[in-house]
Structure 1
Amino acid sequence: MTDSELDAVYTRLCKTMTNLGEANAPLFLARFALLAVQRIGDAQAALNLIEAAQEDMQATQ
């Protein structure tokens, strides 16, 4: 994925969450995550991504 494509996907993700509203954003992200994990199709890769995301969140707190 190019930087431009990544930016387009991120922008679409943000706009979708905005359109759904703050109350629905966590449920949307959970559903998106499940679909992405299924598409990845590799449990260890998905677990590594979860760990990386958690570490990123802890680093910003």
Structure 2
Amino acid sequence: MTDAELDAVYTRLCKTMTELGEASAPLFLARFALLAIEKIGDADVSLGLVDAARDGAGE
């Protein structure tokens, strides 16, 4: 994925959360995460991503 593609995906993600509203954002992110985990198809990779996201959440 190029930087431009990554930016486009991230922008769509943010705009979608804004459209859905703050109350619906956690459910949307949970559903997105489950779909992404299924698509990744590798538990070790997925667990590593969960840990990386947790470690970066306090920044």
TM-score by length of 2: 0.97
Aligned residues: 59
Q: Which residue of 2 aligns with 1:17?
A: 17
The whole-number CA distance in structure 1 between the counterparts of 2:54 and 2:22 is 21
**Structure 1 residues not aligned, in runs of 5+:** none
SS in structure 1 at match of 2:57 = helix
Which residue pairs with 1:4 in the alignment? 4
% of aligned pairs identical?
A: 69
- Provide the rounded CA distance (Å) in 1 between the counterparts of 2:22 and 2:12: 16
Shift of 1:27: 0.2
RMSD: 0.5
